[in-house]
Structure 1
Amino acid sequence: MTSTSGKVIVFDEIESTQLLAKEYIKQGKSTHGLVIQAKKQIQGEGRLDRRWASPSGGLWMSTILQKKIPLKYFQGFSVRIGLAISESLEELLQLPFRVKWPNDLFLKNKKVGGILIDLSSQDIFLKHLVLGIGLNVNFNLSSLPEELQKTATTIYNESGKEFSLDKIRDVIITTQRAIVLQFEKGLLPNITTLWKERSVSFDSTVKVRLKEKVIEGIEKGITLNGDLIIQTSEGEEIISVGEIEQVIGFED
């Protein structure tokens, strides 16, 4: 069963909002700003082809963006959108949301959500971008696989309250629109200071997984393009592709 409201299509249960959004694009059924939401996903997608546990009570959504915007503006897009969403959620829910590079949302030092981006281009311009967001909202931690329960959390677990998924979704949509509007105008606000305020790992020792190795060092912030700055024993490294897989000092 599906329901449609404006540019939002809500499904009771589907394989993956991200997969369906990409299928809509392939079939020529997509429009700019279309949001596909599922009450439950059977095979939610995460980064690096990981599965994303998506039980009922969470917010699982993908937004299709298709505007002719120079591709260069989308460097570090997941970092920018993650920061903006963490701020919006904190204001709405009055909870201390933080971010972990490149695209995780954290609450009280545990992962509560994530962002996934699939992008295609034509020449030097954006053609399509599918922005997937998964957020653990109104369910107990016990609904997640046991192997995730030490490192993940839910908004319900941390607050003891249930929140309107529609309100959270609409705030996220508004935040997304604001970021895209900045890009359309060629505006790229400096987010390096904001990152230091909202990063769970700033000035902490981290392990960063790259394609073929793991490096350890102190997170010193991000560049203007959203690349990660790590101070290692051998000097400073700028990382554009990878992920912080561990913050030393967090619970294992």
Structure 2
Amino acid sequence: MENTRQRIINLLEKAKAEYISGQQISNVLEISRTAVWKHMKELEKDGYVIEAIAKKGYKIIESPDKLSVNTIQWGLHTDWLGKQVIHKPVTPSTQTLAQKLAIDGAEHGTVVIADEQTAGKGRLNRAWHSPNQGIWMSLLLRPVVLPYQASQLTLLTATVLVKVIEEITSVRPAIKWPNDIFIGDRKVAGILTEMQSEHDQIQYLIIGIGINVNQKGTDFPEELREKATSIRTETDKEWDMRVIIQHILQDFEKKYEHYIKEGFATIRSIWEDYGYKIGHEVTVKTMQEEQRVKIVGLQEDGSLLVENNGKRTPLYSGEIIW
């Protein structure tokens, strides 16, 4: 049903300001006129304003603000990312749901989105505050790359988020290695990459994206108010999350395809342009030691390049104390 409804939306979108007759829709989709009418009624329940005029046909006048499979896909210009969308008003974690879908054989490019998470998680299994004022989504990918390259897709995702946030809001964010997006010195978004792989191939990879969008400062738990921010807080404006989601999916698909064909070099360059504290000294804590280092940039493989007493070394894991 959702697939047919999405095809109807695509037909209406292509028609733009023109009407498209019920008979045309019926012919293209090979369904009855009655089925077309029923789908239109379901779209209206979803919040679409549809004008129907005898002998002219149907035209979408207005799409709803709320998130749904239909509203996310309406106006989404991608070839494969988001062609299958799973939307939940509330779920424990989009990552957990995406993992179950991946095991069940869900296709490359499936997107899982929730209005609210009750058990959202970040890196190192930290809890992620996920009320219904942000974007909480997971992208299911089946990339033909080696498992060690998975971290590069985290970095790619970071470049997508900073570019989209800057283009939409005119606020310039920064990427804090390895998986956070900052505005100023506070976190506005995070990325969590998880995968199932064998020694030489990735079976599936799930990229979780969490963005604080419309929270006010007082909406954050007290312990996060000095550490977290939102796009609304930084711009003093409420935002349409559907538009941000569509921009992310469209930009991600383009960058992903470029990465698969051309490699990591372009992503590396963008990442370094937005890198947080590049050229600054920070404390790095690994399992072996804690030391002061200067952040230089990224290596060709995506590891963080740091310098200590004139010696440059790659950092593959560890905690940076900012």
Tell me whether the two structures share a fold, i.e. TM-score over 0.5: yes
1:4 matched to 2:4? The reply is no
Residue 52 of structure 1 aligns to a residue in which SS? coil
* Residue pairs, 1:103-252, within 5 angstroms: 103-233=179-309, 235-246=311-322
Residue 312 of structure 2 aligns to a residue in which SS? strand
The one-letter code sitting in structure 2 at the alignment partner of 1:52 is W
Instruction: Decide which of 6, 9, 19 is 2:96's aligned counterpart.
Output: 19
Deviation, 1:29, is 4.8
Deviation, 1:73, is 4.2
- Partners of 1:63 and 1:130 lie apart in 2 by 5
Deviation, 1:141, is 2.2
What is the number of equivalent residue pairs in this alignment? 244
Q: Check the 8 A contact 1:139/1:157 in 2, yes or no.
A: yes
Residues 31-85 of structure 1: CA distance to partner in whole angstroms, max 9, x if unpaired? 1111111111111010001111111110000010124344454342212221232
Instruction: Decide which of 173, 176, 194 is 1:100's aligned counterpart.
Output: 176
CA pair 147-234 structure 1, distance change in 2 beyond 3 A = farther
Q: Structure 1 regions of 5+ residues with no counterpart?
A: 247-252
Deviation, 1:234, is 7.3
The one-letter code sitting in structure 2 at the alignment partner of 1:182 is H
1:43 matched to 2:43? The reply is no
Residue 106 of structure 1 aligns to a residue in which SS? strand
Residues 117-146 of structure 1: CA distance to partner in whole angstroms, max 9, x if unpaired? 001224522210101000000011222221
Q: Structure 2 regions of 5+ residues with no counterpart?
A: 1-66, 71-82
Give the TM-score normalised by the residue count of structure 2.
0.70
CA pair 143-11 structure 1, distance change in 2 beyond 3 A = same
Residues 205-228 of structure 1: CA distance to partner in whole angstroms, max 9, x if unpaired? 212232354322211111111211
1:89 matched to 2:154? The reply is no
Give the TM-score normalised by the residue count of structure 1.
0.88
Residue 320 of structure 2 aligns to a residue in which SS? strand
CA pair 164-54 structure 1, distance change in 2 beyond 3 A = same
Q: Could you say which structure has the higher strand fraction?
A: 1
Structure having the higher Rg = 2
| Larger displacement relative to structure 2 (211-220 or 137-146) | 211-220
Deviation, 1:4, is 2.8
Q: Could you say which structure has the higher helix fraction?
A: 2
